[in-house]
Structure 1
Amino acid sequence: MAVPPRLAPLLEQFDFARERLTNRMAGPFVDSGNGTDVGVVPMTDEEYLWEPVPGCWSVRRRTDGPGPRATLLTGTGEWGRDAAPAPHPVPPPFTTIAWRLSHLGELLALRADHTNGGHALTRDDYTVSGDAASAIKAFDTGAGAWREALLTADDAALDTVGHSTYPHGGDPEDPFLDTVWWVNQELLHHGAEIALLRDLYRYRASHRAS
């Protein structure tokens, strides 16, 4: 099926942001923005779990329980992601790379299921990763599933309210094209946050060494 003209630029943006974030985390290179490759040291587990300030939300072993101001650990498996039911803490907790990457992987995987899958997956079904390599792989899997869901959307689907039934956003009340736009901005802004945290971690390490 041909990609609808209205979807094409959003799909291109998604592909670019996905590749840029993946390369920024896993290397070996990332495009500097002007076509020049910049070397990237793959993210370590220590960096993935680094808490830059006190009171961070992160992913944690279930045996350790939730972090400060969190009341539960979402997901399934040995690890879970800090969370709390609404109303959420104010001001919002600072979140680690692990938290942000888990959040991205989950929203992509669940939205894919709630668009052209079984419309049944919940946060309790998402496996939270306790190490960087697994988290990057899970993000890539979720991004691939979401891309496949986009490729099934025709013009009628783009205008359909609730084409995505993902329950943790405005999807059931929004035309699908608005949902596609929203997912892109989630990827772009969380990707930028992860990149900045990588820069801060590297600077901290080099400054401490000197």
Structure 2
Amino acid sequence: MRRSSHESRKAPVRYFRDDVRMTDWNSMLRDQLIWHWNGQLRPRLDGLTDEEYFWEPVADCWNVRPRGTGIAQMQAGTGAMTIDFAFPEPEPVPFTTISWRLGHVIVGVLAMRNASHFGRTPTDYESFEYATTAAEALDQLDAELATWLTGVESLGEEGLAEPCGPAEGPYAERSMAELVLHINRELIHHLSEVSLLRDLYLHKNGSLR
């Protein structure tokens, strides 16, 4: 059974690794994310059910849906599932489900950056094959994060100071270190949203496990 957010906060906290020098910026940037991932984020995703994954807390959510059943202006993706979206976004932006938020993290935050910077096969929202189950989505998330962290490690210290390049559009001249910090923020805040939605589901529907 998954841990509640309260139980997660009871875990011992280690703020620094003993084997990381204060000038080892590459390790420190990765450790910022790895600490949250191992101690907070990933344990909160354990046991995610398909019911939670596709659950719509309110009407007219953006979701990941079987092909041909999307409700948004546009649907993207190859394979059996597509993700709802629109451009430009409507006001207000529709509420998004766990599956939609994980899709954004897997594709927009990680996979596209892995392709741009670390040699992954090119992909984007329209060409990605979205998961049909929660378990498959978590496998995709784990794989893309592993690729990202390996890529960041390969930059060493000097690579962190290099510009991101044209893949990052108007931020092309910003350093790779700034991009790594941005990805850390994106993962921490989006996966915290997913954790909150799991808590809401539990309190509204009870556990299905």
Which of the five TM-score ranges fits, normalised by the shorter chain?
Answer: 0.7 to 0.9
1:91 positional shift: 1.6
Equivalent of residue 36 in structure 2, options 17, 24, 46:
17
Deviating above 3 A after TM superposition, structure 1's stretches of 4 or more consecutive aligned residues are: none
Distance 1:118 1:136 in 2: 18
Q: 3-state SS of the aligned residue for 2:117?
A: helix
Deviations along 1:141-188, one digit per CA (max 9) or x if unpaired, are 111111111011133321222258256xx5534211111011011111
- Contact in 2 for aligned 1:81/1:99 (Cα 8 Å): yes
Q: 3-state SS of the aligned residue for 1:80?
A: strand
After superposition, the Cα gap between the structure-2 partners of 1:164 and 1:119, relative to the gap in structure 1 and judged at 3 Å, is: farther
Equivalent residue letter for 1:17? H
Q: How does 1:1-210 map to 2 (within 5 A)?
A: 5-19=24-38, 20-26=40-46, 42-64=47-69, 66-67=70-71, 70-85=72-87, 87-106=88-107, 107-117=109-119, 120-163=122-165, 165=167, 171-206=171-206
Q: 3-state SS of the aligned residue for 2:145?
A: helix
1:119 positional shift: 7.3
Distance 2:60 2:145 in 1: 29
Q: 3-state SS of the aligned residue for 1:18?
A: helix
Distance 2:85 2:172 in 1: 23
Report which stretch shifted further, 50-59 or 146-155.
146-155
Distance 1:118 1:97 in 2: 25
Please tell me the root mean square deviation across aligned C-alpha atoms, in Å. 2.3
Normalization by structure 1: what TM-score?
A: 0.79
After superposition, the Cα gap between the structure-2 partners of 1:187 and 1:194, relative to the gap in structure 1 and judged at 3 Å, is: same
- Contact in 1 for aligned 2:116/2:122 (Cα 8 Å): yes
- Contact in 2 for aligned 1:62/1:79 (Cα 8 Å): yes
Normalization by structure 2: what TM-score?
A: 0.80
Structure 2 segments unaligned to the other structure (5+ residues): 1-19
After superposition, the Cα gap between the structure-2 partners of 1:164 and 1:14, relative to the gap in structure 1 and judged at 3 Å, is: farther
Equivalent residue letter for 1:133? A
Structure 1 segments unaligned to the other structure (5+ residues): 27-41
Q: 3-state SS of the aligned residue for 2:68?
A: helix
After superposition, the Cα gap between the structure-2 partners of 1:134 and 1:171, relative to the gap in structure 1 and judged at 3 Å, is: farther
- Contact in 2 for aligned 1:114/1:165 (Cα 8 Å): yes
Deviations along 1:112-159, one digit per CA (max 9) or x if unpaired, are 121120573333332211211001111111111111110111333212
